[in-house]
Chain A
Amino acid sequence: MTALVAVVGALGAVAVVTGLLVFTVNSMARATFLLLASFVAVGAVLIGFGLGYLGTVVILMMTIEMMIMVVFMVMLMMNPAGLMPMTMVHNRRGSWAIALVVFGLLTTGVWLVPFPTPGPAAVGDPTLALGDALMGGQMLTMMTLGLALLATIVGTVAVAVSRR
């Protein structure tokens, strides 16, 4: 249990620090890999919590997604490697203020609200429980997600296709 405190603290810190670095490095390619590191840290925390399947899905999906992102950067961005340092931000001070206020509010809530914590339960296989739920009581959720993904496939092709 104390090991889990250390793991969650350390990996949470890694996720936050790499997340912050995403918006401070010059190179967008580096930013992509820092974002990937942040996602891998969160995926590892999920695995530490016992959600082995979902944690692995997050890590695998994000690895592939970030590779696609790198391709898009090289295709479209004017300065993907950060060789010509330039700032591409607007209203930095206002954005920081909003972000800090949101962080303050959320953190206050996190440490003041009395959460009901029955603690980790012995549920057997959480992946089996998830599959049962998605094919049973949560079927509507699954169908909605499927439809949303289908709409995304059609929508992305419709938006991105050349009109000439």
Chain B
Amino acid sequence: MSTTELVLRLALTAAAALIATGLYGALSQQSVVMIMMGLELVVNGLLLAAGAFWWAGGAPVVASVLIVVLVTVMAVEMAMGFAVALALYRARQVDLTDDAAELAG
């Protein structure tokens, strides 16, 4: 295995671990903000993978465009997540997803 391949596979393994960790957090946490942290970790793993492919794949410009897209996705997710958390708190004074499961009433 060449060194380039080794670096690529190491980075992708770390990215897979980040994605799995984020998935665990997003599935298991009850607090809205902690769920957002899990989603952020998933995107973090994708950033790492895209960077590794850019480096190992002969620097295709689409890989760096993908990183720009991922950074934007992160900003959008964060902004909408905070807006939903705020709306939820205004309506019900709750910060846990399980407390928000009931319909309005």
Contacts and interface: CB of A to CB of B under 8 A. Distances in A.
Interface of A: 1-2, 4-5, 8-9, 12-13, 15-16, 19-20, 22-23, 28, 31-32, 35, 38-39, 42, 45-46, 49-51, 54-55, 57-58, 61, 65, 68-69, 72-73, 76-78, 88-92, 94-96, 98-100, 102-103, 106-107, 110-111, 115-121, 123, 126, 129-130, 132-134, 138, 141, 145, 148-149, 152-153, 155-157, 159-160, 162-163
A102 B15 CA distance: 12
Contacts of B57: 115-118
Contacts, number: 255
Place the interface of chain B in its size category.
35 or more
Interface string B1-37: 0111111111111111111111111011111011011
Contact of B11 (A8, A39, A123): A8
What does DSSP make chain B's interface, helix, strand, loop or mixed?
Answer: helix
